[in-house]
Amino acid sequence: MNLKRIFGALLTILGIAGLIYTAVLFAGITSATHDVMTVVIFAGVSLIFFIAGISLIRTTKDAS
């Protein structure tokens, strides 16, 4: 297996885990501004990890 594909899979898994954690935070959110900013930051970083991981997996070619 290619190292780029492994790294892409790792980024994708981290992105999915982050998005699930963001959903859990969002479910328990109150009206506090600090909580809203935390959810937005986690969602943004998780989405970047997820998209980068999927893109890295899709664009890496197998050299067998």
- Quote the pLDDT of residue 33: 64
Q: Where are the domains of the chain?
A: 3-59
Alpha-carbon span 18 to 37, nearest angstrom = 15
Tens digit of each residue's pLDDT (9 = 90 or more) over 3-60: 888 999 999 999 999 999 999 888 887 666 667 888 899 999 999 999 999 999 898 8
Q: Encode 1-64 in three state secondary structure.
A: CCHHHHHHHHHHHHHHHHHHHHHHHHHCCCCCHHHHHHHHHHHHHHHHHHHHHHHHHHHCCCCC
